[in-house]
Amino acid sequence: MKTAICLAITLLISATKAAPVEPTQCPPANYSSLSNFNLTEYVSAPWYVQEQLPVNYQTEDELFCVRAKYTLRPDGKSVEVYNYSNKQRVNGEKSDTILRALIRDSNVQSQLLVGPPWIPEFIAPWLYGPYWVVAAEPSPDNYEWALVTGGAPDVQTGNGCTTQGSRFKGGIWILTREQVASQEAVETARNRLTELGIDVNVLKKVEQEGCAYADIAQ
């Protein structure tokens, strides 16, 4: 009798281990950008990237000294985006570009569309990539760190969700106002991404220590 019970328990444990794990829903349920978002505060100072998902327009060999500066245009309908990074190493070859972020809905300014400024605005929705600010802390009057995804993450990894990486689309970023952020701040941001259903294992560290930004244009 005891042998039969032990065998039954063993078979039950084996069956449990072999049972397929239900896949994570991607995008996660109710995933969206911030509802209470202060765009003026967001663009008031540069952002330094601490970790990000490499994408085809910014590959892993360019993840050194990554910085973004946003400037609200006078028309109030768009934002100039100046992206800067170094290739191969800290203070290596400069890679920078100017993009345009369109504010498609003044009531949802945490969702922008980003792409080259030379693309006519009337076709931008089909060619630009989504830029969603999904978290920014500690308050709308004082953003010290922020999380950005290239729209809703709809790709499943097995450990959560990530985004596509096609031209001007996709991406996941941890941004801080401080050039060299504390490990505590980065971990707080990573934990928030995990809570949102993002697989943080896809992120790569961006080296900021020692970055001079001497040749930066903005």
Query: What pLDDT is stored for residue 218 in this prediction?
Result: 79
Which residues touch 75 (CB under 8 Å, ≥6 apart)?
A: none
User: Does residue 131 contact residue 37 with C-beta atoms inside 8 Å?
Assistant: no
Query: What pLDDT is stored for residue 89 in this prediction?
Result: 97
Query: What pLDDT is stored for residue 166 in this prediction?
Result: 63
The arithmetic mean of pLDDT across residues 198-214, rounded, is 96
Query: What pLDDT is stored for residue 39 in this prediction?
Result: 98
Q: Where are the beta strands (DSSP E) in the chain?
A: 47-52, 64-72, 78-87, 93-103, 111-115, 129-139, 142-149, 155-156, 161-162, 172-176, 204-205
The set of long-range contacts for 10-13, using a CB threshold of 8 Å and a minimum separation of 24, is none
Using alpha carbons only, how large is the chain's radius of gyration in Å? 21
Query: pLDDT of 24-68, one tens digit each?
Result: 699 999 999 999 999 999 999 999 999 999 987 788 999 999 999
Output the CA–CA distances (angstroms, integers) from residue 201 to 45, 160, 167, 193, in the order listed.
28, 9, 22, 11
Query: pLDDT of 133-149, one tens digit each?
Result: 999 999 999 999 999 99
Of 179, 195, 11, whose CA–CA distance to 91 is shortest?
179
Query: What pLDDT is stored for residue 5 in this prediction?
Result: 41
Provide the greatest CA pair distance for the chain: 83
Query: What pLDDT is stored for residue 178 in this prediction?
Result: 98
What does 142-170 look like in DSSP terms, one character per residue? EEEEEEEESSS--EE-SSSEE---STT--
The pTM of the full predicted model, rounded to 2 decimals, is 0.87
Query: pLDDT of 80-126, one tens digit each?
Result: 999 999 999 999 999 999 999 999 999 999 999 999 999 998 998 89
For 10, phi then psi, to 5°, come to -60, -45
Query: pLDDT of 147-203, one tens digit each?
Result: 999 999 999 999 999 997 666 678 999 999 999 999 999 999 999 999 999 999 999
